[in-house]
Amino acid sequence: MTMATDDTGVTRALRALADDRASVRLRAALAAGTAPDPRYVGTLVDRCAVEPDFSVREMLTWALTRHAPDLTLPGLLGAVRSERAQARSQALHTLSKIGDRRAWPAITPELLSDADDEVARSAWRAAVVLAPEEERPALARALATQLGRGGRETRLSLSRALIALGEAALPALAEATAQGSPAARRHAIATERLLHDPDAGFADAIEEAKRVAVLGTTGPEER
């Protein structure tokens, strides 16, 4: 990474990150990632918490990934404990992109079950990236407690996270299928189907899960 040495350029970019125009903020975030400098990091993390434009938030995350994790992790780990939902969500998203497993202890059960769907979805994605191999079965059990939650996009995000855990997710899915609420059971059945058949569509898997929940079988005689 090339470190920025132009004090004027750094000052200008830092000021521009708070500009009223999204296009200006986008260019400033691009500049901060193109020529990384430790002086950018705190402002980039802070801006993630309040930035209203999705494209700019993605560029802020990219700029942070261009800096050394030793510089970015402290601020991001603080942000995941913020009272502001966007701060938690974007920090988790950024941690998933950085992929430094030193951040794993910050992925708490509270974040995995956060009341805000966007925060929870970001936590699920980050957890799958950051979890050490020996923690994956426990992570699957924690994720399985969220089965049946939310709308289609939330359920699909959770299914993708469980599928990414592979075989480690199967016991948790089996338990949810046997003992979960009706919504959790359908979601677990659909997720397991997608795990075994990645080409199956989520909507089709849900419909199949509804049928299985009623008939109690996936055997060919019921197809």
Query: What confidence tens digit (pLDDT) does each residue in 120-129 have?
Result: 999 999 999 9
% of the chain with per-residue pLDDT over 70: 86
Residue 115, SS3 per DSSP:
coil
Q: Which amino acid makes up residue 122?
A: S
47 and 21 Cβ atoms separated by less than 8 Å: no
User: What is the overall mean pLDDT for the chain?
Assistant: 90
Give the H/E segment covering residue 89: helix 85-98
What's the number of CA atoms in the CB half-sphere (13 Å) around residue 141?
Answer: 5
Ramachandran area for residue 63 (φ above 0: left; ψ -120 to 50: alpha; else beta)? alpha
Average pLDDT over residues 136-164: 96
pLDDT in tens, 12-25: 999 999 999 999 99
pLDDT in tens, 128-146: 999 999 999 999 999 999 9
> What's the whole-model pTM score?
0.87
d(C-alpha 185, C-alpha 148), whole Å: 8
| DSSP tally for the chain: helices H, then strands E | 13, 0
Q: Is 7 exposed, middle or buried (0-12, 13-18, 19+ CB in 10 A)?
A: exposed
Give the H/E segment covering residue 33: helix 22-34
d(C-alpha 193, C-alpha 13), whole Å: 49
Q: Give 31's contacts (C-beta < 8 A, 6+ positions apart).
A: 9, 13, 16
Torsion of CA 166, 172, 174, 176, to 10 degrees: -130
Of 62-76, 116-130, 135-149, 206-220, the one with minimum mean pLDDT is 206-220
At 216, list the tokens. Answer: 């109690």
76 and 45 Cβ atoms separated by less than 8 Å: yes
- Residue ranges per domain, the chain? 1-67, 149-223
For the domain with range 1-67, which CATH number is right: 2.30.40.10, 3.40.190.10, 3.30.70.2660, 1.25.10.10?
Answer: 1.25.10.10
